[in-house]
Structure 1
Amino acid sequence: MLDHTDMRILEELSQNSRITMKELGDKVHLTGQAAASRVAKLEDNGVIEGYTIKVNQVKLGYFVHALIHIWTKSSYHEPYLSYINLQEKYVINNYKISGDSCYLLECRFPSIELLDEFLVGLDKHVNYKLSIVINK
């Protein structure tokens, strides 16, 4: 069970995972060593699974952000999944979901033309509904 201090540590690390343990300790009213010990315990217990960076996709040239609801044409999903694996440079997330569709695919593309090319290939394997993100 996580206490208030553990929750504060998670909040601080979520905002800046590069914070020093001394700085973290100052923010949650612990010594740096005590904060490091708490973080290690959170890692050991699997609460903290890893540390990541947030990449600005637009600055990398991926201007088109698409959300695509996927309906497979059969119960055999492997052709779709194989196609998605080949297109990994565009795919951010491929969620298997319940509800109106089978998957929710989140992608980024450098251009509408490349999105269209992707969709032509996708159409060979599944039915889909496309939404373009206008603003976050």
Structure 2
Amino acid sequence: MKKFNLDQTDHQILNMLVENARTPFTDIAKKLQVSAGTIHVRVKKMEDEGLIKGSTLILDYEKMNF
């Protein structure tokens, strides 16, 4: 199994996405002072390597009257 090395920027991206997986790449880019393209490429690479396996939508069924 190939090991994928994360740098500080990768860790910061992951921390922001763990907090809110719907954070736009442009917002992450502004906070990290890099381009949105950089964020996109890094996230895509982490997805391709299997580090990011998806995101989850959590519904509040009680509020939906279920």
Specify the TM-score bucket, using the shorter chain as the normaliser: 0.7 to 0.9
Superposition misfits of 4+ residues, deviation over 6 angstroms: none
- 1:45 is aligned to 49
When Rg is computed on C-alpha atoms for both structures, the one with the higher figure is: 1
Structure 1 unpaired stretches of 5+ = 63-136
| Aligned residue type for 2:15 | E
Q: CA RMSD in A?
A: 1.8
After TM superposition, the score normalised by the length of structure 2 is 0.77
Greater RCO (Cα-Cα under 8 Å, separation 6 or more): 1
Structure 2 unpaired stretches of 5+ = none
Q: Deviations over 1:80-104 (max 9, x none)?
A: xxxxxxxxxxxxxxxxxxxxxxxxx
| Aligned residue type for 2:42 | R
After TM superposition, the score normalised by the length of structure 1 is 0.40
> Identity across aligned pairs (percent)?
32
Aligned residues: 62
| Aligned residue type for 2:48 | D
C-alpha deviation, 1:28, in angstroms: 2.2
Structure with the higher strand share, 1 or 2 = 1
- 1:2 is aligned to 6
C-alpha deviation, 1:45, in angstroms: 0.7
C-alpha deviation, 1:55, in angstroms: 2.2
